[in-house]
Amino acid sequence: MELGYGPPNDALARELRQVACAAATVRAALDASNFLPDGFPEAALRDQCAALVGLPEGTAEMCRPQLEAARNLLPKLRREQFQEANETGADDGTPPLERGGHLDLQIAGLIAAVTTALDEYRHQAQTRFDDTVRAEETLRTPDRPTLARIDTATDEVVANVAGVISELDAKGVSATEHGDVLRRRLKDGQNLSHAARALVHSPPIVRRWLTGVSEALQRWPTLVGKAAHALRVGLDIAEPWVDWWERFRQEPLRTTIAAGRELQGYLERLERSQRPLPEPRSIPTWAAAGGSDPFGDWLELEVDGIRQRLRWIPPGRFVMGSPNHEEGRFDHEGPLHEVTIGEGFWLFATPVTQ
């Protein structure tokens, strides 16, 4: 069960504070290090620490994908980068980082804190999870342009969230009940962005951890929109508040949400581009061509020399519409509702105007 998108309870909050303290200690140890070997993933580790330092300021449920990713990334880093004193270094003569050294001990302490916090989350949520990573779950390292786009999008989310939170704090809004929830949900986006960048810069990327962070970022705009609406309803309707809120909602808040959506889109396309293709369906006699891609099965129908593409819609359930209070929602959009498709069918994939 989900723990909710508000403040964590005392037990989980205590463990998240321990994680944040341990992550800050690792970051300080990195700052103090006078030697890091070539190939050491310093930037990814700093992003991981930034995500974990921010967990106490986020929500209870959103700590999960970051803790799960850290629980697997940090031990892998320690296994690969730190050796005992009697082990040989790299072929080029570069000395290894030693087990038992200051940085190694701080990372080991962070692993322990993350493991304890994740155990507390799973105890409260009553969930079981398999931490075993199989070879088929790993993704290829993204190309440089993709990494650059993710890096830039992460910087935009982090900077925008910091600006919005600073304004909420300066106005005293964060001290209110609804303001605190909005602040925490915004902070989730910042933490998740750091975690996403740490993942893509820590090959091999594990599909499960990337998907967990991506799906959390996908939910993030709706959660922020609901918190923003609850805050607006709870504000004093005196003119200064109304003027401030309209400007805040139209510019910094909307820009921040858009940056989060852009980053999530890059992560989703990265995962989808390496998704195994499904077994193709048999091509009907009336189709001119057909096949499969990461989006599913497709056919082409030719009439008078013009080809139209169709997509196979499989049976199942999905949600249509948008939350009533989602930022950027049009008035004529339908409410959220579940739709069940009993039988699969072919649907024309043709853009149309409203």
Q: Is residue 354 part of a domain?
A: no
β partners of residue 337: 320
pTM value is 0.71
Mean per-residue pLDDT, 9-18: 94
Pair 300, 248 in one domain: no
> Are 102 and 149 members of one domain?
no
59 φ/ψ sector (left φ>0, alpha ψ -120 to 50, else beta)? beta
Q: Is pLDDT at 13 greater than 90 in this prediction?
A: yes
Copy the structure tokens of residue 104. Answer: 């190694």
**CA separation (Å) from 286 to 125, 260, 278, 283, 303?**
51, 43, 22, 8, 10
CA–CA distance, 225 with 127 (Å, rounded to integer): 28
Does some domain include residue 168? yes
How far apart, in whole angstroms, are the C-alpha atoms of residue 349 and residue 107? 50
pLDDT band at 260 (very low <50, low <70, confident <90, very high): confident
Residue 333 per-residue DSSP state: P
Residues pairing with 313 in the sheet: 345
Both 247 and 165 in a single domain?
yes
Are 300 and 169 part of one and the same domain?
A: no
pLDDT of residue 312: 84
Higher per-residue confidence, 276 vs 10: 10
Count Cβ atoms below 10 Å from residue 222 Cβ, excluding itself. 19
Co-location of 146 and 264 in the same domain: yes
Judge if 14 and 74 occupy the same domain: yes
Structure tokens of 158? 């982090």
Beta strands in the chain (DSSP E): 82-83, 97-98, 138-139, 205-206, 289-293, 296-303, 306-313, 316-320, 337-341, 345-348
Higher pLDDT, 245 or 321: 245
18 and 151 within one domain:
no
Please indicate, yes or no, whether residues 249 and 325 belong to a single structural domain of this protein.
no
Give the phi and the psi of residue 293 in degrees, each rounded to 5.
-145, -175
Q: Specify whether 123 is located in the same domain as 142.
A: no
Query: Would 353 be classed as within a structural domain?
Result: no
Residues of the chain above pLDDT 90, percent: 18
Q: Is the pLDDT of residue 239 over 70?
A: no
Question: What pLDDT is stored for residue 331 in this prediction?
Answer: 62
128 SS3 class: coil
Q: Per the domain annotation, does 180 fall within a domain?
A: yes
Q: What's the number of domains the chain is made of?
A: 3
Q: What is the pLDDT of residue 248?
A: 81
DSSP-assigned letter for residue 101: S
Residue 283 domain flag: no
**Rounded Cα gap, residues 223 and 181, in angstroms:** 10
Residues 305 and 256 in one domain: no
Domain stop point among 84, 101, 131: 131
Reported confidence tier of residue 338, pLDDT bands at 50, 70, 90: low
Is position 87 within any domain?
A: yes
pLDDT band at 9 (very low <50, low <70, confident <90, very high): very high
Residue 124 within a domain = yes
**Structural domain contains residue 37:** yes
pLDDT of residue 18: 95
Give per-residue pLDDT as tens, 283-337.
777 888 888 776 778 888 888 888 888 888 887 766 666 655 555 666 666 665 6
Q: Which residue has the higher pLDDT, 1 or 73?
A: 73
* Residue 52 pLDDT class (50, 70, 90 cuts): very high
Residue 51 backbone class (left: φ over 0; alpha: ψ -120 to 50; beta: rest): alpha
Per-residue model confidence (pLDDT) at position 310: 87
DSSP notation for 188-244: HHHHHHHHHHHHHTSSSEEHHHHHHHHHHHHHHHHHHHHHHHHHHHHS--SHHHHHH
pLDDT at 16 over 60: yes
Domain residues for the domain of 339 are: 289-348
Out of 131, 164, 195, a domain closes at 131
| Whether residue 73 is found in the same domain as residue 176 | no
Residues 45 and 154 in one domain: no
> How much is the average pLDDT of 30-54?
88
From 276, 301, 322, the end of a domain falls on: 276
Residues 196/267, Cβ–Cβ less than 8 Å: yes
Residues ≥6 apart with Cβ < 8 Å to 326: 221, 222, 225, 226
C-alpha 328, offset from chain centre:
21
Which pLDDT score is estimated for 130? Answer: 67
Mind listing the pLDDT tens digit for each residue in 58-100? 999 899 988 988 888 899 888 888 887 766 655 555 557 888 8
Q: What is the pLDDT of residues 142-196, one digit of tens each?
A: 778 888 888 888 999 999 999 889 988 888 888 888 888 989 999 999 999 998 8
pLDDT at site 318: 63
Residue 237 has pLDDT above 50, yes or no: no
CA distances from 296 to 135, 144, 184, 207, 281 (A): 24, 27, 37, 19, 10
**207-236 tens-digit pLDDT:** 888 888 888 888 888 888 888 887 777 665
